[in-house]
Structure 1
Amino acid sequence: MIILEVSCLKKVYTTRLGGNQVQALADVSFSVEEGEYVAIMGESGSGKSTLLNILAALDRPTGGRVKLDGKDIGLIRDKEITKFRRENLGFVFQDFNLLDTFSLRDNIFLPLVLSRKSVKEMNSRLLPIAHKLGIRDLLDKYPYEVSGGQKQRVAVARALITDPKLILADEPTGALDSRSADDLLRLFGEVNEEGQTILMVTHSARAASRAGRVLFIKDGRVFHQIYRGDSTDEQMYQKISNTLTLLATGGEM
């Protein structure tokens, strides 16, 4: 079943003085099946961030459409978009986006508090997730009291606690050391194996090599994609590295 459908997506920005237009996305089309783990890669300026912002309903396209679970995001009214985002999407950011004045527990609870869930329901949702992510003993601490890897686990817990249709991860390993990054990617793999759909934007070939499919964006278009199939992580890494070399040198697939 297709959970995310992106069709002929275009985005043109007009400069502040209105004299020039910049085309960030030219014609992007792809779909994501429920339960897939997809990575998106491309050089700086390729349109990755613009694409992610549109998928996150933080920006609207100039043309084309995005459907999440059959619902056209572009038709959602502005006053309803925050509620839609909170109920359908989970976010994991490079810089964690945790509130320092909130305990880790309260940071995780925040989207449920905004949805007016009961304390009983919040706790029942939290306990299995905290156990899985290995953060049960940290919940009463504050972000400044834990490591970067632990902060990112908390961010993953916050993304999962709403049971989202899609997790959007923006450079999730970018602020982590290699060991913490490996731990996070292992957790992503486990969460995906349990059926969670994940779309991850990353510059890291090592991170992308854990995904089931990798999309490469170039000049606002899908340039190429790689499917895992029976490939090992190392084989995926090599395929990704080869494609990135072609992207950098202007070669053709």
Structure 2
Amino acid sequence: MTLLEVKNLKKIYTTRFGGNQVHALTDVNFSVDEGEYVAIMGESGSGKTTLLNILAALDQPTSGQVMLQNKNIVTIKEKELAAFRRQNLGFVFQDFNLLDTFSIQDNIFLPLVLSGKSYNEMNARLVPLAEKLRISEILTKFPYEVSGGQKQRTAVARALITNPKLILADEPTGALDSRASDDLLRIFSQINQEGQTILMVTHSTKAASHAGRVLFIKDGTIFHQLYKGSLSNEAMYQKISETLNIIATGGGRNA
């Protein structure tokens, strides 16, 4: 079943000086099914971040639709957007976006507190999640007291605790060392196998090779896509590398 459908999405920025128009997204169309794990790749300036911000309802497109379970998020009123994000979307950022004055536990609880959930319900959700993500022993610590990998697992817990329809991840391995990156990618694969839908923007070929499908964006539109199928991570890595090379050298669409 289709969870997310992006239709004819365009985004045009007008520069402050000179009034020049920048076409960040020209005509983006794709869909994501429930339970998919999709990576989006492209060179700097290709439109990846703009696309993610629109999917996260943090920016408005110039035209087009973003349908999440048949609801067009583009038309949601400003005063309703924060609640919509909490109820439907989970976010994992490169720089973690944790509050240093909050404990690990309170950082994870934050979206539920904002939704008015009781402590008993929050705790009931946290205990199995913290165990799964191996952060039970650090819940009383503060972000500045734990490692980068632990911070990112905390961010994943915060994203998952609301039971979101879709996880949006922005360069989630970008601030991690190789060991912590591998750990996070295992976690993403695990939660995807359990049914969580994930859409990840990444520069990392290794990270993208764990996804079930990779969309390549070039000049503000979808250039190509790869399906993993039965390929190993290593074989998918090679296919992604070949496609990125075609994009970088200005070749045509990869077959």
Please say whether Structure 1 and Structure 2 have the same fold, judged by a TM-score greater than 0.5. Answer: yes
Deviations 1:224-252 (A, max 9, x none): 00000110000000000000000100011
How far the C-alpha of 1:186 sits from its partner, in A, is 0.1
Structure-to-structure mapping, 1:61-100, within 5 angstroms: 61-100=61-100
Measured in 1, the distance between the counterparts of 2:142 and 2:116 equals 23
Give, as a single letter, the amino acid of the residue that structure 1 aligns with 2:95.
D
Number of equivalent positions:
253
Over aligned residue pairs, what C-alpha RMSD do you find?
Answer: 0.6
Structure-to-structure mapping, 1:110-129, within 5 angstroms: 110-129=110-129
Give, as a single letter, the amino acid of the residue that structure 2 aligns with 1:119.
Y
Deviations 1:171-192 (A, max 9, x none): 0000000000000000000000
Q: Which residue number in structure 1 is paired with residue 248 of structure 2?
A: 248
How far the C-alpha of 1:74 sits from its partner, in A, is 1.2
Q: Which residue number in structure 2 is paired with residue 189 of structure 1?
A: 189
Does residue 207 (structure 1) correspond to residue 207 (structure 2)? The answer is yes
Per the alignment, do residues 58 and 18 of structure 1 end up closer, same or farther by CA in structure 2, a change over 3 Å counting? farther
Q: Which residue number in structure 1 is paired with residue 20 of structure 2?
A: 20
Measured in 1, the distance between the counterparts of 2:96 and 2:88 equals 19
SS of the aligned residue for 2:58 comes to: coil
Instruction: Calculate percent identity across the aligned residue pairs.
Output: 73
Does residue 140 (structure 1) correspond to residue 136 (structure 2)? The answer is no
Deviations 1:82-103 (A, max 9, x none): 1101110000000000000000
How far the C-alpha of 1:17 sits from its partner, in A, is 3.1
Following TM superposition, where does structure 1 have runs of at least 4 consecutive aligned residues deviating by more than 6 angstroms? Answer: none
Measured in 1, the distance between the counterparts of 2:4 and 2:19 equals 35
Deviations 1:162-213 (A, max 9, x none): 0000000000000000000000000000000000000000000000000000
Measured in 1, the distance between the counterparts of 2:18 and 2:250 equals 31
Per the alignment, do residues 18 and 75 of structure 1 end up closer, same or farther by CA in structure 2, a change over 3 Å counting? farther
Which moved further from structure 2: 168-177 or 68-77?
A: 68-77
Measured in 1, the distance between the counterparts of 2:88 and 2:229 equals 28
Measured in 1, the distance between the counterparts of 2:36 and 2:7 equals 18
SS of the aligned residue for 1:74 comes to: helix
Measured in 2, the distance between the counterparts of 1:159 and 1:30 equals 24
Q: Which residue number in structure 1 is paired with residue 164 of structure 2?
A: 164
Q: Which residue number in structure 2 is paired with residue 150 of structure 1?
A: 150
TM-score in terms of structure 2 length: 0.98
Q: Which residue number in structure 1 is paired with residue 51 of structure 2?
A: 51
Q: Which runs of 5+ in 2 are unaligned?
A: none
Q: Which runs of 5+ in 1 are unaligned?
A: none
Deviations 1:58-92 (A, max 9, x none): 00100110001111001110110111011100000
Which moved further from structure 2: 63-72 or 12-21?
A: 12-21
Give, as a single letter, the amino acid of the residue that structure 2 aligns with 1:32.
V
Measured in 2, the distance between the counterparts of 1:86 and 1:149 equals 24
Measured in 1, the distance between the counterparts of 2:70 and 2:123 equals 31
How far the C-alpha of 1:139 sits from its partner, in A, is 0.2
